[in-house]
Amino acid sequence: MEKEPECPDEVLRRLPSYEEIREYVLRVSREPVVLPKSAGRKGLLRHRIKVERVHGYIARNVLEPLRTLRNVLGVSFYERIASNALPEGVSAKEVVGRLLGKLGVVEKLSREYRLRISASFDAVEAGELYREYVGRVMSIVRRQADYIELANRAIAELRRTPCVDPELPVVAVAGLPQVGKSTLVSAISTAKPRSSPFPFTTKEIVMGHVTLGLARFQILDLPGILDRLPEEMNEIERKAFIAVTETADLVLFVIDPSEGFYYGLESQLNLLGSLRRWVKADVIVVVNKVDRVSRERVEEVSRAVAGVLPGAEVVAISALRGEGLDDMLSAVARRLGGASEREQPEDEHRRG
């Protein structure tokens, strides 16, 4: 059973780079430590306090955020989204595990050198031990600099990813680029994804919420997916593929029926057939832009859909003009087990 997710953009923090950690450590080394007059063995105490400051910085700003990232990656959806942002074959979980293992040694070194400094003969020996400690710590951090950068890439991607509530159904709006997915999501929720006449305008997953009678659900506007195998997809397409396969309880597959549509009907039907193999969720086929084509063309497309997905529910709409949205939302509510009639949407848009 997966862990309850922590919302990435609420809990994740960027890690400081090697250069930022180095600058902090140099500042700690240069700055004087003010001690009360009553303090004994001041030379030793100053260097021990500097060790504690270096350790505290790494613990708060590196190890603690890494442990939080590890918790977020306990959810398969987030783990796959994070890994998708990394070079091919690199696992976000493995990056975090390596960093925690290597940088976790700093905690052991800090305990060791605090004790050694406390037991040192004088301030000169304490200073030598402190410099030795800093050298060892920075050597460890330097060797992990590339992995820190990878972790920050994963964190940045996750902070752009919506927080999916496991208690609410997820309706994913999928299809090729330019079929009107963003227009549809804008029409039925307060989520306002960017629409454009250019392909692949939607590069991120955008979430909205819809209350429909007794049913409340999350709706995801996904980047477009081309008609090709998952291993041939680019990073943006894989993001949509991960979301639809990991989170969707219901898929609205949007089709542009226009005969002049750039990608054509055949590519859309091929993708529909592939999607049916990829996901376990129910699929409702939404024929959009019906205001631009004849009724005969809509019927022709519906028959073609039945040839690919026998028994599929097909709903004709114009998201731009608001036509057919009541029928579509009623179909969604039935599939989700909620109300059969549309109420005025009480939508929220929340990232993270």
> In this predicted model, what pLDDT tens digit does every residue of 93-116 receive, in sequence order?
999 999 999 999 999 999 999 999
Which residues is 172 bridged to in the sheet? 220, 251
pLDDT band for position 328 (50/70/90)?
very high
Q: How confident is the model at residue 151 (pLDDT cuts 50, 70, 90)?
A: very high
Residue 157 has pLDDT above 60, yes or no: yes
Checking if the pLDDT of 180 tops 60, the result is yes
For residue 350, pLDDT over 90 is answered with: no
Residue-range domain boundaries for the chain: 8-159, 170-336
Which residues are bridge partners to 285 per DSSP?
253, 314
Per DSSP, helices labelled H in 160-263 are: 181-188, 235-246
Question: Percent of the chain, pLDDT > 70?
Answer: 88
Q: Which CATH architecture has domain 170-336?
A: 3-Layer(aba) Sandwich (3.40)
Q: Name the nearest CA neighbour of 179 among 306, 19, 301.
A: 301
Residue 345 clears pLDDT 50, i.e. is over it: no
Q: What is the pLDDT of residue 41?
A: 65
Task: State how far the Cα of 180 lies from the Cα of 319, in Å rounded to an integer.
Answer: 7
**Backbone angles phi and psi of 207, in degrees to 5:** -115, 145
pLDDT tens, residue by residue, 218-276: 999 999 999 999 999 999 999 999 999 999 999 999 999 999 999 999 999 999 999 99
Q: What whole-number distance in Å separates Cα of residue 275 and Cα of residue 311? A: 15
> Which of 50-54, 195-199, 205-209, 276-280 has the lowest average pLDDT?
195-199
Return the pLDDT at 4.
53
Which H or E run contains 221? strand 215-221
Closest CA to 133 of 118, 104, 112: 112
Mean pLDDT of the chain: 89
221 in Cβ contact with 191 (< 8 Å): yes
pTM: 0.87
**What is the rounded distance in angstroms from the CA atom of residue 209 to the CA atom of residue 190?**
8
3-state secondary structure of 163: coil
Sheet holding 170-174, edge to edge: 206-212, 215-221, 170-174, 250-255, 282-287, 313-316
Query: How would residue 344 be classed by pLDDT, with cut points 50, 70 and 90?
Result: very low
Q: What is the pLDDT of residue 216?
A: 83
Q: What is the DSSP letter of 12?
A: -
Question: Which is more confidently placed, 293 or 215?
Answer: 293
What's the rounded Cα separation, in Å, for the pair 6 and 39?
A: 44
State what percent of residues in the chain have pLDDT above 90. 78
Least confident of 28-37, 121-130, 214-223: 28-37
Please report which residue ranges of 119-172 form alpha helices under DSSP H. 123-143, 145-159
* pLDDT (0 to 100) of residue 201: 63
Overall fold of domain 8-159: Four Helix Bundle (Hemerythrin (Met), subunit A) (1.20.120)
Least confident of 41-45, 273-277, 304-308: 41-45
